[in-house]
Structure 1
C-alpha cells in the first residue's frame, strides 16, 4: 500500500531542504470545480505529487482545490503534466513566485476540508458560477485611475499593512468569513460603481466578487491571479506598479517584495520596516513586524518576557507551554487581547 502521509520529523525535513542544491520553483494555484469524493481525489493527488518531490500545502474540498507548493525546477514540466492530466485543471494558471529562494516549504501536506477557503456562507442561493469579471494588470492600472472605481483589499489586516494598491479600502479583520459581510456594509451606496476585489493569489477575491454580485452590486471585477500574477504581468509588460510595498505570502518567506516602498513600521520601535517574523518563543509564536535592531535586542522575540523564556532550560519551556492555545496569534494594535504595542505604550 502506498504511503499517503509523511513519516519523517519536521526537523529532519528542514535539514534536507536546506541541504538541497537543486533550485526549486514556488507556485500557487486554485480552481473552483466540483469534487465528488475529496478524500479519493486527495489520495490520488498525493501519490502523484510526492514522487515528484513536491512540497507544500494543498486543501481539497467539494468546491475545488487551493495550493501553495514548491517543486524542483527540473521536475516542473512533469509536475505541470500531472496536474493538467486532471481534466478540470487542464491549462490552469500557475502563479509562480517573483521573489523566491525555493525554501518556502519542506513537506507535502494535502488536507481535505469543508471548503478551500473558509467563508462562513450558509446562503443556499449563493452560486460561485456567477462571479465578477477578471481584470489583468493593465486593466487594473486603468481602473485605478477612474474616480468611479473602488479597489477593495480582501486580505487580512496584517497583509494590507505591508503592501496594498493605492487608495484601496481595507476590510479590517483577521478572517475572510468576517470580511464578506463587512465589505457589503462598507460599500453600501456604491452599488453602481466599479468594484475591484483583489487578494494574494485570486482565490479569496474570486469568491468575494461572486458574493458582491449576489448582494446586488452590479459592476464587480476581480484581479486575475491576485497580486502574485499582477506582479508578474507588470514586470513582463514593463508597467508601473500601482501596488505599493510587499505582498504577504503564507509560507516560510512571509513576503514577496513588489516595490521598494516600505509602508509599515516595526511593532517594537516604530521605525519603517515590513519584515514579518514569528516570536522565537514557541509558547507565543506571535506573528509581528520586527526590524533588525529589535531582532537583536529581543533575540527574535516580541517582548522581554518571551526573550527571558527562550533562555530557560527546554524542560522548563515545555512546562510553561502546557495548556496554551495560541490560536491565531497575530499582532493587531486595534485589539486589546493582543499586545497593543509591543514593549511600548500605544502611539
Structure 2
C-alpha cells in the first residue's frame, strides 16, 4: 500500500530542500465546489502530487479545495494537466507567487477539514452560489477612483499592518469567523454603495462577498485572485499599484514585496520595518515585526526575557518548555496586547 503521508523529520526535510538545485515555483489556488468523498479525493490527490515532488499545505472539504504549494518549475505543466483533468478544476486560476525564493514549503500536507475556510456560518440557507462580482486589476483601480466605493480588507490585522489598498477599511479582528458578522455590522449604512472585498489569494473575500449578499447588500464585488493576482496583472499591464507595501503570506517567506513602501514599524524600536519573524525562543515563537538592528540586538527574539532563554543550553530550554502552551501568539498592535493566532492559514 502506498504511504499517503510524510515519515521524515521536519529538520531533515528542510535540509533536503536547501540542498535542491532545481528551481521551485510557489503557487496558490482554491475552488469552491462540492466534493462527495473528501477523504478519497485527498488520498488520490496526495499520490498524484507526491509523484510531482509537490510540497505545501492543502485543505480538502465538502465545500472545495484550498492550496498553497511549491514544486519544481519543470513540473508545472504536469501539475496543471493533472488539476485540469478534474472536471471541477478545469481552467482553475493558479496564482504564482510574486516574490519567490522557491523555499516556501518543505513537505506535502493534505488535510480533510469541515471547511476550507473556517467561517463560523451556521445558517443552512447560506450558499456560495450567490457571490459578488469579480473585478480585475484595471477595474479595481477604476472603482477606487469613485467616492461611492468602499474597500474592505478581509485579512487579519498582522496582514493589514504591512500592506493594504489605498482607502481600505480594516475589520479589526484576527479571525475570519469574527470578521464576517463585523463587516455586516460596520457596513449597515452603506448597503447601496459599491463594496469591494479583497484578501491574499481570493478565497476569503469570495466567501465574504457571498455572505454580504446573503445579508442584504446589493453592489458587492471581490478582487479576482486577491492581492497575488492583482500584483501580477498590474505588472503585466503596466498599471499603477493601488496596493501599498508588502503582501503577508502563510509560508516560510512571511511576505512578498508589492511596492517599495514600508508602512509598518518595528514592534521593538518603532523604526520603519515590515519584516515579520517568529521569536527564536522555542517556548515563544511570537509572530512580530522586527527591524535588522533589533534582530541583531535581541538575537531574533521578541524580548530580553526570550533572548536570555534562547541563549541557555538546549537541555535547559527543553525543561523550561515542559507543560507550556505557547498558543500560536501574534503581536496585535491595534489591541495593545498579544493574543493567540487563531485564524486559519487561508488565502
Q: TM-score normalised by the shorter chain: which range applies?
A: over 0.9
Q: Distance in 2 between matches of 1:81 and 1:338?
A: 44
Provide Cα deviations, 1:208-233, integer angstroms capped at 9, x if missing partner: 00000000000000000000000000
Report the equivalent of 1:47.
47
Gaps of 5+ in 2: 340-347
Q: Distance in 2 between matches of 1:309 and 1:42?
A: 41
1:202-281 correspondence to structure 2 within 5 Å: 202-281=202-281
Q: Distance in 2 between matches of 1:326 and 1:210?
A: 35
Report the equivalent of 1:145.
145
Gaps of 5+ in 1: 340-347
Report the equivalent of 1:28.
28
Cα root mean square deviation, aligned: 0.9
Q: Distance in 2 between matches of 1:27 and 1:293?
A: 32
1:60-139 correspondence to structure 2 within 5 Å: 60-139=60-139
1:268-347 correspondence to structure 2 within 5 Å: 268-335=268-335, 338=338
Provide Cα deviations, 1:1-48, integer angstroms capped at 9, x if missing partner: 001000000011000100111100100000000001111100000000
Structure 2 SS opposite 1:331:
strand
Q: Distance in 2 between matches of 1:336 and 1:188?
A: 27
TM-score (normalised: structure 2)? 0.97
- Tell me which stretches of 4 or more aligned residues in structure 1 moved more than 2 Å: 333-337
Structure 2 SS opposite 1:308:
helix
Structure 2 SS opposite 1:151:
strand
Where relative contact order (Cα < 8 A, 6+ residues apart) is larger, the structure is 2
Q: Distance in 2 between matches of 1:193 and 1:322?
A: 53
- CA shift at 1:265, angstroms? 0.1
TM-score (normalised: structure 1)? 0.97
Report the equivalent of 1:343.
none
Provide Cα deviations, 1:69-119, integer angstroms capped at 9, x if missing partner: 001001110111111111100110000001001000000000000000100
